[in-house]
Protein backbone atom coordinates (compact mmCIF):
# COMPACT_ATOMS: atom_id res chain seq x y z
CA UNK A 1 0.00 0.00 0.00
CA UNK A 2 1.51 3.30 -1.12
CA UNK A 3 0.70 6.37 1.01
CA UNK A 4 0.58 9.71 -0.80
CA UNK A 5 0.96 12.74 1.42
CA UNK A 6 0.61 16.46 0.75
CA UNK A 7 4.02 17.59 -0.59
CA UNK A 8 5.80 20.86 0.15
CA UNK A 9 4.53 23.05 -2.69
CA UNK A 10 6.32 26.30 -1.99
CA UNK A 11 7.96 28.54 0.55
CA UNK A 12 5.61 29.86 3.27
CA UNK A 13 2.76 27.57 2.15
CA UNK A 14 1.67 25.46 5.14
CA UNK A 15 -1.66 24.06 3.93
CA UNK A 16 -3.59 23.33 0.72
CA UNK A 17 -7.19 22.64 -0.23
CA UNK A 18 -8.39 19.74 -2.37
CA UNK A 19 -10.17 21.61 -5.15
CA UNK A 20 -11.03 18.57 -7.30
CA UNK A 21 -10.59 14.81 -7.40
CA UNK A 22 -9.91 13.77 -11.01
CA UNK A 23 -10.03 10.06 -10.13
CA UNK A 24 -12.79 8.39 -8.15
CA UNK A 25 -12.59 6.20 -5.05
CA UNK A 26 -11.68 2.63 -6.03
CA UNK A 27 -10.63 3.61 -9.55
CA UNK A 28 -7.53 2.14 -11.16
CA UNK A 29 -4.77 4.70 -11.84
CA UNK A 30 -1.52 4.55 -13.76
CA UNK A 31 1.80 5.75 -12.39
CA UNK A 32 2.21 9.55 -12.80
CA UNK A 33 -1.43 9.95 -13.84
CA UNK A 34 -3.00 13.14 -12.48
CA UNK A 35 -5.40 12.19 -9.70
CA UNK A 36 -6.41 15.52 -8.14
CA UNK A 37 -5.85 19.27 -8.02
CA UNK A 38 -4.56 21.05 -4.91
CA UNK A 39 -5.03 24.74 -4.34
CA UNK A 40 -2.99 27.03 -2.08
CA UNK A 41 -3.32 30.76 -1.48
CA UNK A 42 -0.78 31.34 -4.27
CA UNK A 43 -1.30 28.76 -7.00
CA UNK A 44 -3.00 25.54 -8.09
CA UNK A 45 -1.04 22.27 -8.35
CA UNK A 46 -1.67 18.85 -9.87
CA UNK A 47 -1.07 15.72 -7.81
CA UNK A 48 0.25 12.64 -9.63
CA UNK A 49 -0.09 8.98 -8.71
CA UNK A 50 3.19 7.63 -7.34
CA UNK A 51 2.39 4.10 -8.48
CA UNK A 52 -0.10 2.08 -10.50
CA UNK A 53 -2.95 0.56 -8.53
CA UNK A 54 -6.37 1.10 -7.00
CA UNK A 55 -6.96 4.54 -5.50
CA UNK A 56 -8.45 5.06 -2.01
CA UNK A 57 -9.30 8.62 -0.94
CA UNK A 58 -8.36 9.72 2.58
CA UNK A 59 -9.76 13.25 2.21
CA UNK A 60 -12.68 14.80 0.35
CA UNK A 61 -12.99 17.72 -2.04
CA UNK A 62 -12.95 21.00 -0.15
CA UNK A 63 -10.87 19.62 2.73
CA UNK A 64 -7.94 21.78 3.84
CA UNK A 65 -4.87 19.73 4.74
CA UNK A 66 -1.49 20.64 6.19
CA UNK A 67 1.76 19.78 4.42
CA UNK A 68 2.64 16.13 5.12
CA UNK A 69 -0.97 15.03 5.79
CA UNK A 70 -2.12 11.74 4.22
CA UNK A 71 -4.05 12.50 1.03
CA UNK A 72 -4.76 9.03 -0.37
CA UNK A 73 -3.46 5.49 -0.69
CA UNK A 74 -2.79 3.33 -3.74
CA UNK A 75 -3.26 -0.42 -3.31
CA UNK A 76 -0.91 -2.13 -5.72
CA UNK A 77 -1.98 -5.64 -4.67
CA UNK A 78 -5.55 -5.14 -5.94
CA UNK A 79 -4.53 -4.80 -9.56
CA UNK A 80 -6.54 -7.68 -11.02
CA UNK A 81 -6.32 -6.99 -14.74
CA UNK A 82 -5.26 -10.35 -16.06
CA UNK A 83 -3.52 -10.88 -19.37
CA UNK A 84 -6.55 -12.79 -20.62
CA UNK A 85 -8.85 -9.84 -19.90
CA UNK A 86 -6.40 -7.50 -21.55
CA UNK A 87 -6.26 -9.69 -24.65
CA UNK A 88 -10.07 -9.81 -24.79
CA UNK A 89 -10.27 -6.04 -24.53
CA UNK A 90 -7.68 -5.71 -27.29
CA UNK A 91 -9.56 -8.11 -29.55
CA UNK A 92 -12.76 -6.18 -28.94
CA UNK A 93 -11.09 -2.89 -29.81
CA UNK A 94 -9.47 -4.26 -32.95
CA UNK A 95 -12.80 -5.68 -34.12
CA UNK A 96 -14.46 -2.25 -34.02
CA UNK A 97 -14.75 -0.74 -37.44
CA UNK A 98 -12.88 2.51 -37.92
CA UNK A 99 -14.17 3.15 -41.37
CA UNK A 100 -13.46 6.52 -42.85
CA UNK A 101 -16.51 8.66 -43.53
CA UNK A 102 -14.79 10.02 -46.64
CA UNK A 103 -14.84 13.52 -45.12
CA UNK A 104 -11.63 15.51 -44.75
CA UNK A 105 -11.82 18.34 -42.22
CA UNK A 106 -9.55 21.34 -42.72
CA UNK A 107 -8.32 22.95 -39.50
CA UNK A 108 -7.34 26.58 -39.78
CA UNK A 109 -5.60 28.97 -37.39
CA UNK A 110 -8.35 30.31 -35.11
CA UNK A 111 -8.78 33.90 -34.00
CA UNK A 112 -7.01 33.89 -30.63
CA UNK A 113 -7.44 37.48 -29.54
CA UNK A 114 -7.96 41.06 -30.48
CA UNK A 115 -5.14 42.64 -32.52
CA UNK A 116 -3.39 39.27 -33.03
CA UNK A 117 -2.87 38.73 -36.77
CA UNK A 118 -0.48 35.78 -36.83
CA UNK A 119 0.76 32.90 -34.70
CA UNK A 120 3.75 30.56 -34.70
CA UNK A 121 3.56 26.77 -34.30
CA UNK A 122 5.80 26.16 -31.32
CA UNK A 123 5.20 22.42 -30.84
CA UNK A 124 3.31 19.56 -32.51
CA UNK A 125 2.07 17.08 -29.88
CA UNK A 126 0.98 14.60 -32.59
CA UNK A 127 2.62 13.41 -35.80
CA UNK A 128 1.25 13.06 -39.32
CA UNK A 129 -0.64 9.79 -39.56
CA UNK A 130 -1.54 9.69 -35.87
CA UNK A 131 -5.12 9.02 -34.91
CA UNK A 132 -6.55 11.88 -32.85
CA UNK A 133 -9.84 12.18 -31.01
CA UNK A 134 -12.22 15.10 -30.80
CA UNK A 135 -10.97 17.92 -28.53
CA UNK A 136 -7.59 16.21 -27.99
CA UNK A 137 -4.68 18.72 -27.86
CA UNK A 138 -2.58 18.31 -30.99
CA UNK A 139 -0.33 21.37 -31.07
CA UNK A 140 0.81 24.48 -29.22
CA UNK A 141 0.58 27.80 -31.04
CA UNK A 142 2.29 30.93 -29.83
CA UNK A 143 1.29 34.52 -30.43
CA UNK A 144 3.06 37.70 -29.43
CA UNK A 145 1.07 37.73 -26.20
CA UNK A 146 0.40 34.16 -25.06
CA UNK A 147 0.61 30.45 -25.87
CA UNK A 148 -2.49 28.40 -26.73
CA UNK A 149 -3.33 24.73 -27.23
CA UNK A 150 -4.87 23.70 -30.54
CA UNK A 151 -7.38 20.87 -30.15
CA UNK A 152 -8.66 18.42 -32.76
CA UNK A 153 -12.00 19.39 -34.25
CA UNK A 154 -12.89 15.78 -35.15
CA UNK A 155 -11.81 12.18 -34.63
CA UNK A 156 -9.65 10.75 -37.35
CA UNK A 157 -6.26 10.59 -39.03
CA UNK A 158 -4.09 13.71 -38.75
CA UNK A 159 -2.22 15.18 -41.71
CA UNK A 160 0.08 18.06 -40.77
CA UNK A 161 0.33 20.90 -43.29
CA UNK A 162 2.35 23.54 -41.40
CA UNK A 163 5.56 22.63 -39.58
CA UNK A 164 7.00 23.66 -36.22
CA UNK A 165 8.41 27.17 -36.37
CA UNK A 166 6.12 28.26 -39.22
CA UNK A 167 4.37 31.60 -38.76
CA UNK A 168 0.80 31.61 -40.07
CA UNK A 169 -1.84 34.28 -40.41
CA UNK A 170 -5.23 33.89 -38.77
CA UNK A 171 -7.37 31.64 -40.99
CA UNK A 172 -4.42 29.87 -42.66
CA UNK A 173 -4.57 26.07 -43.08
CA UNK A 174 -2.65 24.32 -40.31
CA UNK A 175 -3.64 20.64 -40.76
CA UNK A 176 -6.35 18.28 -42.02
CA UNK A 177 -8.16 15.38 -40.35
CA UNK A 178 -9.52 12.39 -42.29
CA UNK A 179 -12.69 11.88 -40.27
CA UNK A 180 -13.53 8.36 -39.04
CA UNK A 181 -16.58 7.01 -37.23
CA UNK A 182 -14.53 5.28 -34.55
CA UNK A 183 -10.97 5.98 -33.50
CA UNK A 184 -8.86 2.90 -34.47
CA UNK A 185 -7.30 1.04 -31.60
CA UNK A 186 -3.58 1.42 -31.19
CA UNK A 187 -1.43 -1.48 -32.29
CA UNK A 188 0.45 -1.50 -28.99
CA UNK A 189 -0.66 -4.54 -26.96
CA UNK A 190 -2.14 -3.83 -23.56
CA UNK A 191 -0.02 -5.19 -20.76
CA UNK A 192 -1.63 -6.31 -17.56
CA UNK A 193 -0.38 -4.30 -14.59
CA UNK A 194 1.73 -6.36 -12.25
CA UNK A 195 1.38 -6.06 -8.49
CA UNK A 196 4.55 -4.78 -6.89
CA UNK A 197 6.27 -7.23 -4.65
CA UNK A 198 7.50 -6.32 -1.17
CA UNK A 199 11.07 -6.28 -2.42
CA UNK A 200 10.23 -3.75 -5.12
CA UNK A 201 7.82 -1.56 -3.19
CA UNK A 202 10.54 0.79 -2.04
CA UNK A 203 11.77 1.53 -5.56
CA UNK A 204 8.51 1.82 -7.51
CA UNK A 205 9.41 5.34 -8.74
CA UNK A 206 13.19 5.05 -8.98
CA UNK A 207 14.50 6.56 -12.19
CA UNK A 208 11.01 7.55 -13.35
CA UNK A 209 10.60 11.26 -14.22
CA UNK A 210 7.60 13.32 -13.20
CA UNK A 211 5.55 14.75 -16.13
CA UNK A 212 7.24 18.15 -15.85
CA UNK A 213 10.68 16.56 -15.62
CA UNK A 214 9.96 14.25 -18.56
CA UNK A 215 9.04 17.24 -20.73
CA UNK A 216 12.24 19.10 -19.79
CA UNK A 217 14.42 16.03 -20.42
CA UNK A 218 12.74 15.44 -23.78
CA UNK A 219 13.32 19.04 -24.82
CA UNK A 220 16.98 18.86 -23.81
CA UNK A 221 17.55 15.41 -25.33
CA UNK A 222 18.64 13.78 -22.08
CA UNK A 223 17.73 10.18 -21.28
CA UNK A 224 16.01 9.58 -17.95
CA UNK A 225 18.46 6.79 -17.23
CA UNK A 226 21.28 9.36 -17.13
CA UNK A 227 19.66 11.38 -14.34
CA UNK A 228 19.81 10.62 -10.62
CA UNK A 229 16.39 11.23 -9.02
CA UNK A 230 16.12 13.01 -5.68
CA UNK A 231 12.32 12.82 -5.34
CA UNK A 232 10.15 10.36 -3.43
CA UNK A 233 11.40 6.83 -4.00
CA UNK A 234 14.13 8.07 -6.34
CA UNK A 235 11.75 9.81 -8.75
CA UNK A 236 13.30 12.37 -11.08
CA UNK A 237 11.90 15.78 -10.14
CA UNK A 238 11.68 18.96 -12.21
CA UNK A 239 14.69 20.35 -10.33
CA UNK A 240 16.68 17.20 -11.16
CA UNK A 241 15.90 17.68 -14.86
CA UNK A 242 16.96 21.33 -14.79
CA UNK A 243 20.17 20.50 -12.93
CA UNK A 244 20.91 17.68 -15.35
CA UNK A 245 20.71 20.10 -18.24
CA UNK A 246 23.14 22.46 -16.56
CA UNK A 247 25.48 19.65 -15.71
CA UNK A 248 25.31 18.06 -19.14
CA UNK A 249 26.02 21.22 -21.12
CA UNK A 250 29.80 21.45 -20.49
CA UNK A 251 30.26 17.85 -21.60
CA UNK A 252 29.51 18.86 -25.17
CA UNK A 253 32.19 21.13 -26.71
CA UNK A 254 29.97 22.10 -29.65
CA UNK A 255 26.54 23.50 -28.87
CA UNK A 256 24.20 23.54 -31.83
CA UNK A 257 20.91 23.61 -29.91
CA UNK A 258 18.67 26.55 -30.67
CA UNK A 259 17.17 26.48 -27.18
CA UNK A 260 17.75 29.77 -25.34
CA UNK A 261 18.61 27.89 -22.16
CA UNK A 262 21.36 25.83 -23.85
CA UNK A 263 24.63 27.54 -22.90
CA UNK A 264 27.68 26.85 -25.07
CA UNK A 265 31.10 26.15 -23.56
CA UNK A 266 32.88 29.43 -24.21
CA UNK A 267 36.39 29.20 -25.60
CA UNK A 268 36.00 25.63 -26.88
CA UNK A 269 35.64 26.71 -30.49
CA UNK A 270 34.37 29.36 -32.86
CA UNK A 271 30.86 28.06 -33.46
CA UNK A 272 27.91 30.38 -33.91
CA UNK A 273 24.26 29.79 -33.15
CA UNK A 274 21.19 31.23 -34.78
CA UNK A 275 17.74 31.30 -33.24
CA UNK A 276 14.62 32.68 -34.81
CA UNK A 277 13.02 35.51 -32.86
CA UNK A 278 9.92 34.37 -31.01
CA UNK A 279 6.66 36.20 -31.77
CA UNK A 280 6.78 37.75 -28.30
CA UNK A 281 10.34 39.01 -28.79
CA UNK A 282 9.51 40.40 -32.24
CA UNK A 283 6.48 42.23 -30.94
CA UNK A 284 8.35 43.71 -27.98
CA UNK A 285 11.11 44.90 -30.32
CA UNK A 286 8.66 46.39 -32.79
CA UNK A 287 6.66 48.21 -30.11
CA UNK A 288 9.72 49.61 -28.34
CA UNK A 289 11.13 51.03 -31.58
CA UNK A 290 7.70 52.42 -32.44
CA UNK A 291 7.39 54.14 -29.07
CA UNK A 292 10.84 55.68 -29.37
CA UNK A 293 10.11 56.95 -32.90
CA UNK A 294 6.51 58.08 -32.44
CA UNK A 295 6.48 59.70 -28.99
CA UNK A 296 8.23 62.73 -27.54
CA UNK A 297 9.74 60.66 -24.74
CA UNK A 298 11.59 62.36 -21.92
CA UNK A 299 12.82 61.06 -18.54
CA UNK A 300 13.00 62.84 -15.21
CA UNK A 301 14.83 61.45 -12.16
CA UNK A 302 14.69 61.67 -8.38
CA UNK A 303 15.85 59.67 -5.40
CA UNK A 304 13.96 58.14 -2.50
CA UNK A 305 15.16 57.51 1.05
CA UNK A 306 13.87 54.00 1.66
CA UNK A 307 14.63 53.96 5.41
CA UNK A 308 11.04 54.78 6.56
CA UNK A 309 9.54 51.98 4.45
CA UNK A 310 12.24 49.52 5.53
CA UNK A 311 11.63 50.39 9.20
CA UNK A 312 7.87 49.97 8.73
CA UNK A 313 8.30 46.60 7.02
CA UNK A 314 10.69 45.39 9.70
CA UNK A 315 8.25 46.37 12.45
CA UNK A 316 5.07 44.91 10.96
CA UNK A 317 6.14 42.24 8.43
CA UNK A 318 5.49 39.30 10.78
CA UNK A 319 2.08 40.57 11.90
CA UNK A 320 1.17 41.42 8.30
CA UNK A 321 2.08 37.96 7.05
CA UNK A 322 0.29 36.26 9.93
CA UNK A 323 -2.91 38.17 9.23
CA UNK A 324 -2.93 38.25 5.43
CA UNK A 325 -0.77 35.18 4.60
CA UNK A 326 1.39 37.19 2.21
CA UNK A 327 4.67 39.07 2.60
CA UNK A 328 4.79 42.87 2.74
CA UNK A 329 7.00 43.92 -0.19
CA UNK A 330 8.09 47.19 -1.73
CA UNK A 331 5.77 46.88 -4.74
CA UNK A 332 2.60 47.53 -2.74
CA UNK A 333 4.08 50.79 -1.40
CA UNK A 334 5.11 51.95 -4.87
CA UNK A 335 1.76 50.92 -6.38
CA UNK A 336 -0.24 52.76 -3.70
CA UNK A 337 1.99 55.84 -3.99
CA UNK A 338 1.63 55.90 -7.79
CA UNK A 339 -2.16 55.50 -7.58
CA UNK A 340 -2.45 58.46 -5.21
CA UNK A 341 -0.13 60.60 -7.33
CA UNK A 342 -1.97 59.62 -10.54
CA UNK A 343 -5.24 60.87 -9.10
CA UNK A 344 -3.60 64.21 -8.32
CA UNK A 345 -1.90 64.46 -11.73
CA UNK A 346 -4.37 62.79 -14.14
CA UNK A 347 -2.36 63.63 -17.28
CA UNK A 348 0.23 61.04 -16.23
CA UNK A 349 -2.58 58.46 -16.20
CA UNK A 350 -3.92 59.54 -19.61
CA UNK A 351 -3.26 58.40 -23.19
CA UNK A 352 -3.33 60.02 -26.62
CA UNK A 353 -5.87 58.92 -29.25
CA UNK A 354 -5.17 60.88 -32.45
CA UNK A 355 -6.44 64.40 -31.65
CA UNK A 356 -7.95 63.57 -28.26
CA UNK A 357 -6.59 62.88 -24.79
CA UNK A 358 -8.29 60.05 -22.89
CA UNK A 359 -8.29 60.62 -19.14
CA UNK A 360 -8.80 57.51 -16.99
CA UNK A 361 -10.64 57.87 -13.69
CA UNK A 362 -9.17 54.60 -12.44
CA UNK A 363 -5.67 53.18 -12.04
CA UNK A 364 -4.93 49.91 -13.85
CA UNK A 365 -1.26 49.42 -12.98
CA UNK A 366 0.84 47.30 -15.37
CA UNK A 367 3.67 45.45 -13.61
CA UNK A 368 6.63 44.43 -15.80
CA UNK A 369 7.60 40.78 -15.20
CA UNK A 370 10.53 38.89 -16.69
CA UNK A 371 9.06 35.58 -17.92
CA UNK A 372 10.87 32.61 -19.56
CA UNK A 373 9.76 33.72 -23.04
CA UNK A 374 10.46 37.43 -22.52
CA UNK A 375 9.09 40.55 -20.88
CA UNK A 376 5.36 40.55 -20.14
CA UNK A 377 3.29 43.24 -18.45
CA UNK A 378 0.20 41.88 -16.62
CA UNK A 379 -2.26 44.40 -15.18
CA UNK A 380 -3.40 44.97 -11.58
CA UNK A 381 -6.86 46.42 -12.20
CA UNK A 382 -8.41 49.15 -10.04
CA UNK A 383 -5.31 49.23 -7.88
CA UNK A 384 -6.46 52.56 -6.40
CA UNK A 385 -9.22 50.74 -4.49
CA UNK A 386 -7.09 47.81 -3.32
CA UNK A 387 -5.44 47.37 0.09
CA UNK A 388 -1.74 46.54 0.56
CA UNK A 389 -2.39 42.82 1.03
CA UNK A 390 -4.70 42.68 -2.03
CA UNK A 391 -2.03 44.31 -4.18
CA UNK A 392 0.68 41.92 -2.93
CA UNK A 393 -1.50 38.86 -3.56
CA UNK A 394 -2.49 40.00 -7.05
CA UNK A 395 1.11 40.76 -8.03
CA UNK A 396 2.23 37.32 -6.79
CA UNK A 397 -0.64 35.65 -8.69
CA UNK A 398 0.15 37.43 -11.94
CA UNK A 399 3.92 36.93 -11.61
CA UNK A 400 3.44 33.20 -10.97
CA UNK A 401 1.19 32.82 -14.00
CA UNK A 402 3.69 34.80 -16.09
CA UNK A 403 6.60 32.56 -15.13
CA UNK A 404 4.46 29.47 -15.81
CA UNK A 405 3.49 30.91 -19.24
CA UNK A 406 -0.18 30.78 -18.24
CA UNK A 407 -1.14 34.45 -18.54
CA UNK A 408 -4.28 35.06 -20.57
CA UNK A 409 -4.61 37.88 -23.08
CA UNK A 410 -7.18 39.56 -20.85
CA UNK A 411 -4.67 39.69 -17.99
CA UNK A 412 -2.20 41.60 -20.17
CA UNK A 413 -4.53 43.95 -22.02
CA UNK A 414 -5.23 47.50 -20.88
CA UNK A 415 -3.28 49.29 -18.20
CA UNK A 416 -3.04 53.04 -17.66
CA UNK A 417 0.42 53.29 -16.05
CA UNK A 418 3.41 50.92 -15.75
CA UNK A 419 5.92 50.15 -12.99
CA UNK A 420 9.13 48.30 -13.83
CA UNK A 421 11.71 47.19 -11.27
CA UNK A 422 15.17 46.84 -12.76
CA UNK A 423 16.60 46.95 -9.26
CA UNK A 424 15.97 43.25 -8.76
CA UNK A 425 18.68 42.64 -11.38
CA UNK A 426 21.08 45.22 -9.90
CA UNK A 427 20.26 48.25 -12.07
CA UNK A 428 21.36 51.53 -10.48
CA UNK A 429 19.78 53.90 -13.02
CA UNK A 430 17.94 53.58 -16.33
CA UNK A 431 15.51 55.33 -18.66
CA UNK A 432 12.55 52.95 -19.09
CA UNK A 433 10.65 53.04 -22.38
CA UNK A 434 6.94 53.87 -22.28
CA UNK A 435 4.50 50.95 -22.57
CA UNK A 436 2.27 52.23 -25.42
CA UNK A 437 -0.45 53.43 -25.58
CA UNK A 438 0.22 54.60 -22.03
CA UNK A 439 1.93 57.93 -21.49
CA UNK A 440 4.29 57.23 -18.61
CA UNK A 441 6.28 54.52 -16.84
CA UNK A 442 8.04 54.50 -13.46
CA UNK A 443 11.39 52.76 -13.16
CA UNK A 444 12.55 51.42 -9.79
CA UNK A 445 16.23 50.63 -9.16
CA UNK A 446 18.43 48.96 -6.59
CA UNK A 447 18.78 50.26 -3.05
CA UNK A 448 22.31 51.43 -2.20
CA UNK A 449 23.68 52.64 1.13
CA UNK A 450 24.93 56.14 0.33
CA UNK A 451 26.01 59.23 2.31
CA UNK A 452 23.35 61.96 2.19
CA UNK A 453 22.92 65.28 3.98
CA UNK A 454 19.98 65.39 6.42
CA UNK A 455 19.46 68.43 8.67
CA UNK A 456 22.98 69.60 8.02
CA UNK A 457 24.59 66.25 8.86
CA UNK A 458 26.03 63.55 6.61
CA UNK A 459 24.40 60.19 7.32
CA UNK A 460 24.31 56.80 5.56
CA UNK A 461 20.87 55.99 4.17
CA UNK A 462 19.40 53.29 1.87
CA UNK A 463 18.72 55.30 -1.29
CA UNK A 464 16.93 54.37 -4.50
CA UNK A 465 16.97 56.27 -7.78
CA UNK A 466 13.56 56.46 -9.46
CA UNK A 467 12.93 57.46 -13.08
CA UNK A 468 9.76 58.60 -14.80
CA UNK A 469 9.72 58.37 -18.59
CA UNK A 470 6.78 60.23 -20.11
CA UNK A 471 5.29 61.41 -23.39
CA UNK A 472 5.95 65.14 -23.57
CA UNK A 473 3.07 65.55 -26.05
CA UNK A 474 0.60 64.98 -23.19
CA UNK A 475 2.59 65.55 -20.01
CA UNK A 476 4.39 68.80 -19.34
CA UNK A 477 7.53 69.16 -17.28
CA UNK A 478 5.64 70.60 -14.32
CA UNK A 479 3.28 67.62 -14.19
CA UNK A 480 5.98 64.97 -14.62
CA UNK A 481 8.32 66.46 -12.02
CA UNK A 482 5.48 67.15 -9.58
CA UNK A 483 4.20 63.59 -9.99
CA UNK A 484 7.61 62.09 -9.18
CA UNK A 485 8.12 64.46 -6.24
CA UNK A 486 4.70 63.40 -4.90
CA UNK A 487 5.67 59.73 -5.18
CA UNK A 488 8.89 60.51 -3.33
CA UNK A 489 6.98 62.30 -0.53
CA UNK A 490 4.55 59.43 -0.07
CA UNK A 491 7.30 56.81 0.05
CA UNK A 492 9.49 58.75 2.46
CA UNK A 493 6.52 59.30 4.78
CA UNK A 494 4.35 56.14 4.47
CA UNK A 495 1.81 57.55 6.95
CA UNK A 496 0.65 59.80 4.10
CA UNK A 497 -0.39 56.68 2.18
CA UNK A 498 -2.57 55.57 5.07
CA UNK A 499 -4.14 59.00 5.54
CA UNK A 500 -4.35 59.95 1.88
CA UNK A 501 -2.55 63.28 2.37
Q: Which residues are catalytic?
A: 472, 476
Give the strand pairing for 365-367 and 369-371.
unpaired
Q: Which helix (H) or strand (E) holds 500?
A: none
CA dihedral 333, 339, 341, 347 (to 10 degrees): 150
Please report the DSSP string for 335-355 in residue order.
HHHHHHHHHHSGGGG-EEETT
Report yes or no: 26 and 54 within 8 Å, Cβ to Cβ: yes
CB 343 within 8 A of CB 385: no
H, E, C per residue of 14-58: CEEEEEEECCCCCCEECCCCEEEEEECCCCEEEEECCCCEEEEEC
Question: What is d(CA 251, CA 257) in angstroms, rounded to the nearest whole number?
Answer: 14
Q: Which residues are within 8 A (CB) of 265 and not within 5 positions of it... i.e. 6 or more apart?
A: 249, 250, 252, 253, 255
- Give the Cα separation of 244 and 227 in Å (integer): 7
Residue 12 region by backbone torsions, left for phi larger than 0, else alpha for psi between -120 and 50, else beta: left
Closest CA to 336 of 396, 380, 377: 380
Judged on CB neighbours under 10 Å (0-12, 13-18, 19+), 416 is: buried
List CB contacts of 76: < 8 A, sequence separation 6 or more. Answer: 1, 2, 51, 52, 53, 195, 196, 201, 204
Strand-pair category, 15-21 with 417-421: unpaired
User: CA-to-CA distance for 466 and 443, rounded, in angstroms?
Assistant: 6
| Rounded Cα distance, 189 and 92, in Å | 12
Report yes or no: 211 and 201 within 8 Å, Cβ to Cβ. no
Evaluated on CA atoms 402, 408, 413, 416, the torsion sign reads negative
Amino acid sequence: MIEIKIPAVGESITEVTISQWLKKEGEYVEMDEVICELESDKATFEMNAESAGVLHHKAEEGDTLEIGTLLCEIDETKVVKSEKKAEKAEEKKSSEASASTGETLEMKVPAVGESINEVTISNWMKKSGDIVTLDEPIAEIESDKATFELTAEATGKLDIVAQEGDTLEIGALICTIEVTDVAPATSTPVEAPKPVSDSDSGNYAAGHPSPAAAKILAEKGIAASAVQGSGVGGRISKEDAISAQKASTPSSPKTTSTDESATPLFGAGREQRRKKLSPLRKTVARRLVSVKNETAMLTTFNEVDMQPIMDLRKKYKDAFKEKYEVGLGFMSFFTKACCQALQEWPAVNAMLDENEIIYNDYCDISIAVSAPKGLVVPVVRNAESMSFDQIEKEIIRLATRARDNKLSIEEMQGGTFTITNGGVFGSMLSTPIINAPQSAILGMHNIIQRPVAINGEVVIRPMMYVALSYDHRIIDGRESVSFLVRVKELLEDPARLMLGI
